[in-house]
DNA sequence: AAGTGGTCTAGACCACCAT
DNA sequence: TGGTGGTCTAGACCACTTT
């Protein structure tokens, strides 16, 4: 399944050269998500470096999230880890800090439209090029938590308007129906004010604080394939980090 | 400067046991910030493990931010890295995305007050215990970017009200004057509405979106020593992450 | 039993820093 | 020059998974 790798002994450390080569295979989708990559001993032979060096490379790539290692099974190409996403941090911030559960989503509308300036810029299109537009409401029990607006380049996702997207995860659909895996994503978080439509959907008024998250998801070769705007109720969002 | 370390061969890997021991020295402030820790060869001898294992331990601790390694010099205890803090991500979000520069701060007031419920909880005090309160305005050129409210347990920081804090970094003062280094910190980010005082200081009205960041800073043995509330203008805040 | 990654060793040589 | 971390090797043994 894989070719020989040429790794020369110049100034650059071998384990970094090997890491770059493997990253290249992954980000170009030559080695696809979930696939097992060659074993340590095999890489050691084909690259003509010691097993210890290969171990160092793979440990580093695992640390960086490119691969997952399983003792006794092998090393596998990882997908992006959206447990690190901003949108996974919606929680109760009430006195009783019980986390939310049973998330659902309701489709508010879907259509093929012309991209405006913002969407075109995010997706690397010209203004006016066709995009598929999906409008969703994210809920938890009876709470309306967030409104999502999702834009896809229609060229690549032709026919997606005929696929049922209710309660489905979108990224597996991108992969299976359109051969377009999400390899990584960019996210921006801001405090914003909700437009009146969104405020109404979230059952808040336009003075309630609201969190805006924008995500651009990329497939192989850093091609943008999804632009997502996520407007969430500020009173149910709390993001936490530890500084060390 | 350092004692012998006992590391037994039971189920737990040696490099993890060694890492825990070293973390213990650091978080208990036995090994202080900036101090050089024993060299690889020295640790190797005193702990009776190979140099390779020590290397693995120290590489991991460097990755986790506990130590900094310098070729030819040694391995040193690191302080918390506030470049990872939420408060370091204030930037222009205008079309011309030029970053802000020349930050300043202006003291609005300082006093010794009784802690309310929120402050007491954050600092692990009883309600009513004395805290030092510092009210600051963070600026960039002519822009008022954020308002900070800082609370310190007065027991530990007795006399701080007589120290000049204008344009000074606080954490070095905690360390030098009160023997209280900040070892790590916890941060929470939320969308909030500014109270009228804060809104006035930021020259915004109470409908403008605002980001609230709360930080609890800890010294050795996980003792909380600072509670900081940071209210920043939402239109100048943009936080970015990459999901892989 | 064969193959995988996880741990650990005992070296070697190098680049960098202080003296 | 001696000490430090950075890279790399060639093994050994173990734990886990699959066949």
Task: State pLDDT tens for residues B185-234.
Answer: 998 888 888 889 999 999 988 878 888 999 999 999 899 999 999 998 87
Distance of CA A6 to the CA centre of its chain: 31
Q: Å from A78 (CA) to D18 (C1')?
A: 22
Is residue B94 over pLDDT 70? no
Rounded CA-CA distance B26/B31 in Å is 5
- The string of DSSP codes covering B170-236 is HHHHHHHHHS----EEEEEEEEE---HHHHHHTT--TTS-EEEEEEEEEEGGGEEEEEEEEEEEGGG
**C-alpha separations of A197 from A149, A205, A206 in Å:** 12, 10, 10
Q: Are A75 and A37 in contact (CB under 8 A)?
A: yes
> In whole angstroms, what is the distance from residue B175 CA to residue A220 CA?
48
- Residues B96-112 have a mean pLDDT of 75
CA of A1 to C1' of D8 (A): 28
**Are the CB atoms for B124 and B151 separated by under 8 Å?**
no
- The mean pLDDT of B65-89, rounded to a whole number, is 88
The pLDDT of residue B62 is above 80? yes
First to last CA, chain A: 42
Cα torsion A222, A228, A229, A234: sign: negative
* Mean pLDDT value across residues B88-95: 51
Q: Are strands B184-192 and B143-153 parallel, antiparallel or unpaired?
A: unpaired
Q: Is A30 helix (H, G, I), strand (E, B) or coil?
A: coil
CB atoms within 10 A of CB A214: 21
Q: Nearest CA of chain B to the CA of A237: how many Å?
A: 6
The reply to whether the CB atom of residue A40 sits less than 7 A from any atom in nucleic acid chain C is: yes
Please give the Cα distance from A47 to A24 (Å, whole number): 15
Of B residues 42-61, those with CB within 7 angstroms of nucleic strand C are 48-53
CA of A13 to C1' of D7 (A): 7
pLDDT digits 0-9 by tens, B152-181: 999 999 999 999 887 778 998 999 899 999
Query: Which residues make Cβ contacts (< 8 Å) with residue A140, sequence separation at least 6?
Result: A100, A101, A102, A103, A104
State which residue has its Cα closest to the C1' atom of C6: A71
* Residue numbers in chain A where pLDDT is lower than 50: 1-4, 92-97
Q: Are B209 and A191 in contact (CB under 8 A)?
A: yes
Q: Phi/psi of residue A102, each to 5°? A: 50, 65
What pLDDT shows up at residue A102? 64
Residue A198 CA to residue A212 CA, distance in Å, equals: 12
Nucleotides of C under 7 A from a protein CB: 3-12, 15-18
Distance from CA of A135 to the nearest CA of B (A): 23
Indicate the pLDDT class of residue B101, thresholds 50, 70 and 90: low
Q: Look at residue A6 in the predicted model and tell me its pLDDT.
A: 55
**Single pTM value for the model:** 0.85
């Amino acid at each position: 399944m894989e070719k020989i790798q040429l790794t020369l002994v110049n100034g650059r450390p071998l384990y970094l050269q090997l890491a770059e080569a493997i990253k290249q295979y992954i980000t170009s989708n030559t080695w696809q998500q979930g696939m097992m990559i060659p074993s340590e001993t095999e890489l050691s032979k084909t690259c003509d470096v010691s097993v210890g060096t290969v171990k160092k490379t793979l440990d580093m790539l695992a640390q960086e999230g490119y691969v997952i290692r399983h003792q006794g099974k092998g090393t596998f190409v990882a997908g992006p880890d959206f447990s690190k996403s901003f949108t996974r941090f919606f929680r109760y911030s009430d006195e009783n800090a019980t986390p939310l559960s049973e998330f659902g989503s309701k489709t508010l509308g879907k259509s093929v439209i012309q991209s405006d300036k913002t969407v075109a810029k995010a997706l690397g299109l010209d203004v006016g090029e066709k995009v598929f537009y999906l409008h969703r409401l994210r809920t938890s029990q009876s709470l309306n938590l967030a409104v999502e607006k999702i834009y896809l380049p229609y060229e690549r996702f032709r026919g997606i308007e005929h696929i049922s997207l209710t309660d489905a995860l979108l990224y597996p659909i991108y992969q299976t129906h359109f051969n377009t895996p999400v390899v990584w994503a960019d996210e921006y978080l801001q405090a914003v004010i909700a437009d009146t439509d969104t405020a109404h959907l979230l059952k808040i008024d336009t003075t309630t604080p609201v969190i805006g998250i924008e995500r651009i998801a990329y497939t192989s070769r850093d091609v943008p394939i999804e632009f997502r705007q996520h407007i969430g109720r500020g009173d149910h969002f709390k993001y936490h980090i530890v500084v060390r």
